[in-house]
Structure 1
Amino acid sequence: MERHFVEFDNVCKYYQMGENRIAAADHVSFFIDKGEFCVIVGPSGAGKTTVLNMLGGMDGCDEGRIYLDGQEVSAYNQKQLTRYRRYDVGFVFQFYNLVQNLTALENVELANEISKEPLPAEQTLRQVGLEHRMDNFPAQLSGGEQQRVSIARALAKNPKILLCDEPTGALDYKTGKQVLALLQNTCRQTGRTVIVITHNSALTAMADRVIHIRNGQVAGVEVNENPTPVERIEW
């Protein structure tokens, strides 16, 4: 059976809260095709991050199956999950997680050391518009520049998929737009599959595919035939 590039098949994730069992993901099913820019949107506590963590191999699922590029990620053991996180997935978080006593270039080079087929660190920093900041330390960079370094670091791994959890959450409006435009352009220019999690429904216009999550369930999926460049979106 031909699988989509990303596929969630009836996935459940439960947490025990005292006597109660809470479903953070409640029979979640969706797919994402290779090279798509996908936005997963929903209010805080809806289960978006749970979905992202399961796809990223940081959390297991209790029921259902998760596939990436024809492989069943949900069947991996711990050793396989470590390899998967290391080689196949690039992560971008709300907070930049940079090593403070390393330069921008050295932070990106960290990714090269753990990857099978990394991209040159200088190349990815140029790609995110930071060729003039390579020797700066994180404390010498603005928030937007630090987030660009973290995106360059994720891209340098040459991953199959880029997972971004509220990547503009710590940034002002203008800088946030620049970072989102960078992610959208990266998807278009490299054919890499990019997934952005957000609570901001205005961002759905920029996506090829939009997955709405509410109360741990998929509330709807939309496909945009003509995604809007992020520069033209206001919120």
Structure 2
Amino acid sequence: MAAFVELKGVKKIYRMGEVVIKAVDNMNFSIEKGEFVVIVGPSGAGKTTVLNILGGMDKATEGQVLVDGVDVAGFDNRRMTKYRREDIGFVFQFYNLVQNLTALENVELAIQICRDHLDAREILAEVGLKDRMDNFPSQLSGGEQQRVSIARALAKNPKLLLCDEPTGALDYQTGKAILKLLQDTCRERGMTVVVITHNSALTPMADRVIKIKNGQVSSMSVNENPTPVEGIEW
């Protein structure tokens, strides 16, 4: 059976005049459905570029990007927009919330354009914000704002939840709580979750660890017994 996500010979080349930059250079890896995946590597290794290619925010220069059996690398702009809208949930380091909308309105805004979405109130309650739905982002802590952005991504009911340094702007304890939420979401919903980080201490919590260096996969390993976030220190 084919993997749920597969990158085959993916390259991303940026040209600036005479200068050629290989952000991703012949990247190959696969991810199974329902896995919690950590992609780890130093700054400039190509992690975010890979995430953006997976999420349809950037196009591979060459290679195949197979998601659920479909090569999204070949999509035109219209199909790519539909893919981003319906199949992908994004969580960023900075929460990207609309400041003059409440937590509930932020989530509702995101699901207006989705076919198969979940109930915004239920998802906010699930991420621990049952009593904060009517608060504006400025009335919420950093951790609460990140929970809203996770709820916003989850409510779309995406095939893939992509998280770019989701704890980067948070303190240690809050960051741990957010990672636990992501790990629990993966387990309880059978959702495929990909987290990119430069913090290699997080790798024991993953089902699959993909290490990236200089735009290539330097190693890939599977944890038979992932560690719950509570058991990890860094």
Q: TM-score range by the shorter chain?
A: over 0.9
Quote the residue 1:86 is aligned against: 85
Q: Distance in 1 between matches of 2:92 and 2:64?
A: 25
- Whether 2:202 is the aligned partner of 1:203: answer yes
Quote the residue 1:192 is aligned against: 191
- Whether 2:95 is the aligned partner of 1:104: answer no
Quote the offset at 1:41 in angstroms: 0.2
Q: Distance in 2 between matches of 1:212 and 1:20?
A: 27
Q: Distance in 2 between matches of 1:130 and 1:201?
A: 29
Quote the offset at 1:22 in angstroms: 1.3
Letter in 2 for 1:68: V
List alignment gaps of at least 5 residues for structure 1. Answer: none
Q: Distance in 2 between matches of 1:93 and 1:163?
A: 8
Quote the offset at 1:112 in angstroms: 1.7
Q: Distance in 2 between matches of 1:17 and 1:113?
A: 38
Give a deviation string over 1:84-116, Cα, whole Å, max 9, x none: 000000000000000111110111111220111
Alignment RMSD (CA, Å): 0.7
Give the TM-score, by structure 2 length. 0.99
Quote the residue 1:135 is aligned against: 134
Quote the residue 2:169 is aligned against: 170
Any residues of structure 2 matched to 1:11-160 within 5 Å, and which?
A: 11-160=10-159
Q: Distance in 2 between matches of 1:17 and 1:204?
A: 35
Q: Distance in 2 between matches of 1:214 and 1:229?
A: 26
- Name the SS of the counterpart of 1:15 in structure 2: strand
Q: Distance in 2 between matches of 1:58 and 1:112?
A: 18
Letter in 2 for 1:195: V
Q: Distance in 1 between matches of 2:216 and 2:20?
A: 16
- Runs of 4+ aligned residues of structure 1 deviating over 6 Å after TM superposition are none
Quote the offset at 1:18 in angstroms: 3.8
Quote the offset at 1:63 in angstroms: 1.1
Aligned pair count reads: 234
Quote the offset at 1:20 in angstroms: 2.3
Farther off after superposition, 2-11 or 186-195: 2-11
Q: Distance in 1 between matches of 2:45 and 2:210?
A: 12
Q: Distance in 1 between matches of 2:233 and 2:147?
A: 22
Letter in 2 for 1:199: H
Q: Distance in 2 between matches of 1:201 and 1:17?
A: 32
Q: Distance in 2 between matches of 1:16 and 1:112?
A: 36
Give the TM-score, by structure 1 length. 0.98
Letter in 2 for 1:63: E
Letter in 1 for 2:145: Q
Quote the offset at 1:17 in angstroms: 3.6
- Name the SS of the counterpart of 1:52 in structure 2: helix
Q: Distance in 1 between matches of 2:2 and 2:50?
A: 19
List alignment gaps of at least 5 residues for structure 2. Answer: none
Letter in 1 for 2:202: L
- Whether 2:212 is the aligned partner of 1:216: answer no
Any residues of structure 2 matched to 1:224-235 within 5 Å, and which?
A: 224-235=223-234
Q: Distance in 2 between matches of 1:54 and 1:40?
A: 14
Quote the offset at 1:118 in angstroms: 0.7
Q: Distance in 1 between matches of 2:109 and 2:69?
A: 28
Identity across the alignment (%): 69
Letter in 1 for 2:21: I
